[in-house]
Amino acid sequence: MQPERGERRVTKGMAGSPSSFESIRSWVVEHKLRTVGCLWLSGIGSSIAYNWSRPNMKTSVKIIHARLHAQALTLAALAGAAVVEYYDHQSKPRSNTSSRRLQSSCPLLLPRTLPLPLPQVNSFPFWFLVLEGDLRNVERTDPTLVSLDKGDAGSGSRRRSQPRGDGQGVVEKLRHRRLWGPVSSLEVLQPYAKPRSFYPVPGQQNGFIYAKISGGFEKIRSSICDLVAIARLLNATLVIPEIQQSVRSKGISPKFRSFSYLYDEEQFIASLSDDVIVVKSLPKDLKEARKKTKFPTVSPKASTSPSFYTREVLPKLKQSKVMRILVSDGGCLQPILPSNMDEYQRLRCRVAFHALQFRSEIQALGNQMVERLRGTGGPYLSYHPGFVRDTLAFHGCAELFQDVHTELIQYTRKQLIKQGTVDEDLVVDSFARKTNGSCPLIPEEVGLLLRAMGYPPNTIIYLAGSETFGGQRILVPLRAMYTNLVDRTSLCTKKELSNLIGPEYPLPSNLPQPPPVKSEKQLIEEWKKAGPRPRPLPPPPARPFYQHEKEGWYGWIAETDTEPDPSSMDIRKQAHRLLWDALDYYVSVEADAFFPGFNNDGSGWPDFSSLVMGHRSYQTASGVTYRPNRKTLVGLLSSMHDNLYHPTHNWTVLVRDHLNKSLGVDGFIAEAESSKTASFLSHPFPECSCRTSKSSDTPGHVMSRSGKLLYGNEEECPEWMVRGLAMASQKATGAKDEDVEEGELLEDDNETDGQSDSDNGNRSDTNRSMEQDEEMDPDD
């Protein structure tokens, strides 16, 4: 019987340790293991020998009937083991005591080996590790480590362990399906951004548009899409935009400059050849005039209407042949366009989801990170906290932090008030703002919500975001609940990250310079102007300062009330953040589930989480993308403030009900109403989608308050797409149909566990960390 996808089957171990390479090979082949290689450690970890291996195939690691020495485990890690499991001679997992013993034997090994890449065989990870040693001595030394079956000794048993007969394996499959998708109600939506009507290729051009984009990763990505739409609207040739974050950084790698620092220029030009003409630079005769700033300049806002460009910009473009656009607001065209401009919305989708491909180095490293996250054969969840200093200051969330972090947020808020970005008081009630949903969810709260949903403690969570204001301190509770919390620094080596940056020129040291030496005449003058004698002794010389003491906010917060201008290193780090955000964006889009900590914040700027959610929804609408309502969740968390770690069953049901609804049509419509007005790319529906079938329960029209279509009544997908999806569905039918009858018997108990507990009076035997099912509280 072939193993199920994602299900682990245990193979019974040998009765005696193999004595040679050939015996290992023959034993593995005889048992028909899904194994392509063996790793043999002889002498209980004293030496290591590699055996055969086939290309494009993989193994997994199991330690069978052997003493759990730290030396053997270390060798297993060096050999590339991503999963190390201990089994006794009867091929049964050891108890929790053995697991704790395993961790205590090598406490630094397991977290370190978890992110290592592990290839798969038909999506079924299976490694095999044989440790040879004197089992009798092992048992005599510590009988708790090995339980020998005397009847099987030397018999060469080939029995396989049988599946658990209590139906728990099917329950886990159903639970796995509920936590990791797909969402059946959204499976009918498919990405479709091709033009629907007559769409001629660019002809005679009215001139050139070149732009400079300022801001972070999310503002850059959104602005590029708007610029392409404007170029199409004005029938102009677009010069590849300049990314100011990388251009103004001194000493940055000459290998990657401006647009190519993030994206593939050739792919961008080729993908848009039928939409707009894109060139890398202005013609030579116009470059000199550009340096003298002879061309008109416009700095539009993100809410600028198309009529502004046709009335104000187009005449100037035709006259001067070149127009410069400065974009600093995260966009230069309003998100919602008139209904007769749907083709421009689809053009935005083609730019964001097809033309804007990261350069090859970013994609290669992103693929490696995804492979390492899935190296154990299981899914992973991506989580973006949204703790960005500027956003926190904009919404007045300073009081949620402590000490110096509060002071830093208030300082930034004061600057935003001076700039006119914020039209409010400096001091506001941060807790009232959070109750209103205007502040992000704290990582601890996100961990409690994931626990209530049923995600086990060993769930792999990827922490996205180049900036997490507050540092590691705010992540401590989440890391305690989910120890497999990783980020790019734990998945990638320093060399891999430095190769992504490329060679850079060294920066001059910015250490404080000693005061200039005074002349003899100056010393005499100071002596005469000094006070009466006797004078106090001069202070002792100051200790030397180090480079790290003057970097970041902690270099000035204790010395002055004003933040100094960013140094060369600060500017360079801002450019590096673009790369880190690009990696996190790639990993988050490919994740099996995504949970935003602070999306749709109401600032009017595009945010990282919203762009990821929009990309995931466009690419796979049925994927697990949570769209939580922070106001609702904060209310639920406040109602259980004193017992958050021991919640009642009713509270758990309410949390699950809200988050499960956010995955489906209800959350889809709510996201359209709240986020699309700020950023079209956060919810590119229905313009960039189609529907494979019409069902009776599909709403015909769901309109917004302004009369815009939010959901339903999408166009039907073309026939070629429907046929392709049907063929793909048929290939996956076999895996989904296995154990259907048994699954149906257990489905009601698994999905409505709260109701069954209350009706039958039975308490679930499922692990509490998995289901959080508790008895009904009489006070509820």
pLDDT at 479 over 90: yes
Give CA 58 to chain center in angstroms.
Answer: 26
Q: Which pLDDT band holds residue 706 (cuts at 50, 70, 90)? A: low
Distance from C-alpha of 510 to C-alpha of 546, rounded to nearest angstrom: 10
pLDDT for position 548: 67
For the chain, the first-to-last Cα distance in angstroms comes to 47
Q: What mean pLDDT is predicted for residues 22-46?
A: 40
Query: Would you state the pLDDT for residue 686?
Result: 87
* pLDDT of 150 above 70: no
pLDDT of residue 181: 77
- Partner residues linked to 40 by β-bridges: 49, 130
Per-residue confidence (pLDDT) for residue 556, from 0 to 100: 75
List, for residues 373-396, the tens digit of each pLDDT value: 998 888 999 999 999 888 899 999
pLDDT tens digit string along 420-440? 888 888 889 889 999 988 899
Question: Mean pLDDT lowest for which of 75-84, 108-117, 471-480, 743-752?
Answer: 108-117
Instruction: Pick from 146-150, 477-481, 772-776 the range whose average pLDDT is largest.
Output: 477-481
Task: Return d(Cα 594, Cα 581) in angstroms, integer.
Answer: 15
Confidence bin at 540 (pLDDT 50/70/90): confident
What is residue 699's predicted lDDT score, i.e. its pLDDT? 55
Model pTM above 0.75: no
Q: Which of 548, 412, 547 is nearest to 469 (CA)?
A: 412
Q: What is the CA radius of gyration of the chain?
A: 31
How is 338-389 classified by DSSP, letter by letter? -GGGHHHHHHHHHIIIII-PBPHHHHHHHHHHHHHHTTTSS-EEEEE----H
Q: Which DSSP string do the residues of 122-191 spell out, in sequence order?
A: TTB----EEE---HHHHHHH-TTT----GGGTTS----BPPPPTTSHHHHHHHHHHHHH---GGGTTEEE
- Least confident range from 209-223, 460-474, 719-733: namely 719-733
The model's confidence at residue 476, banded by pLDDT at 50, 70 and 90, is very high
User: Exposed (0-12), middle (13-18) or buried (19+): which is 675, by Cβ within 10 Å?
Assistant: buried
For position 446, what pLDDT does the model report?
95
Across 185-202, average pLDDT: 86
CB atoms within 10 A of CB 557: 14
pLDDT at 184 over 90: no
Using 50, 70 and 90 to split pLDDT, how confident is the model at 462? very high
Range of lowest pLDDT (31-35, 243-247, 632-636, 656-660) = 31-35
Domain boundaries, the chain: 21-163, 208-357, 375-498+571-711
DSSP at 47: E
Angle among Cα 130, 133, 139 to the nearest 5 degrees reads 110
Predicted confidence band of residue 44 (pLDDT cuts 50, 70, 90): very low
**Mind giving me the DSSP string for 234-251?**
HT-EEEPPEEHHHHSSTT
- The stretch 101-117 carries a mean pLDDT of 32
Across the range 128-151, mean pLDDT stands at 31
Mean pLDDT along residues 691-712 = 63
Whether residue 710 is predicted with pLDDT greater than 80 in this model: the reply is no
Q: Say how far apart CA 615 and CA 585 lie, in whole Å.
A: 10
pLDDT at 697: 52
pLDDT for res 292? 66
Q: Sort strands 189-191 and 84-87 into parallel, antiparallel or unpaired.
A: unpaired
Residue 452 near residue 772 (C-beta atoms within 8 A): yes
pLDDT score recorded for residue 128: 35
618 Cβ contact list (under 8 Å, min separation 6): 191, 193, 349, 353, 684, 685, 688, 689
Q: State the average pLDDT over residues 646-654.
A: 94
Give the pLDDT confidence of 734-766 residue by residue, as tens digits.
544 544 443 443 344 444 344 434 344 433 343
> Residue 477's pLDDT is what?
94
- Two tokens, residue 2: 């072939």
Lowest mean pLDDT among 52-61, 171-180, 342-351: 52-61
Report which DSSP code applies to 469: T
For residue 16, what is the DSSP state?
S
Mean local confidence (pLDDT), 253-264 = 84
- Write the CB contacts of 749 (distance below 8 Å, at least 6 apart in sequence): 171, 756
pLDDT at position 361 is 94
User: Rounded CA gap, 381 and 88, in Å?
Assistant: 32
Provide the pLDDT for residue 630.
92
Q: How many CB atoms lie within 10 A of CB 297?
A: 11
Report helix, strand or coil for 326.
strand
Cα distance between residue 599 and residue 208, in whole Å: 35
pLDDT at 216 over 50: yes
Model confidence at 720, in pLDDT bands (50, 70, 90)?
Answer: confident
Task: For residue 473, give Cα distances in angstroms to 321, 479, 551.
Answer: 54, 10, 20
H, E, C per residue of 706-730: CCCEEECCCCECCHHHHHHHHHHHH
Most confident range, picked from 21-35, 106-120, 522-536, 722-736: 522-536
**Which residues fall within 8 angstroms of residue 399, CB to CB, at 6 or more apart?**
406, 429, 430, 431
Bridge partners (DSSP) of residue 61 are 84
Instruction: Find tokens 């039209």 and name the residue.
Output: 423
Burial label for 559, CB within 10 Å (0-12, 13-18, 19+), is exposed
Does position 161 have pLDDT exceeding 50, yes or no?
A: no
More confident residue, 718 or 346: 346
The pLDDT of residue 702 is 65
Question: Residue 217 and residue 384: Cα distance in Å, rounded?
Answer: 14
Q: For 75-84, 481-490, 499-508, 708-717, which range has the lowest pLDDT when averaged over its residues?
A: 75-84
Element (H, E) at 208: strand 208-213
76 has pLDDT over 50: no
Q: Which residue is associated with the tokens 């202070």? A: 539
Task: Give the type of residue at 539.
Answer: P
DSSP string across 733-749: HHHHHTTHHHHHHHHHH
Instruction: Using alpha carbons, list the distances in angstroms from residue 337 to 299, 359, 736.
Output: 20, 31, 42
Other Cβ atoms less than 10 A from the Cβ of 778: the count is 6
**DSSP letter assigned to residue 549:** G
Q: Are 271 and 349 in contact (CB under 8 A)?
A: no
Percent of the chain with pLDDT over 70: 65
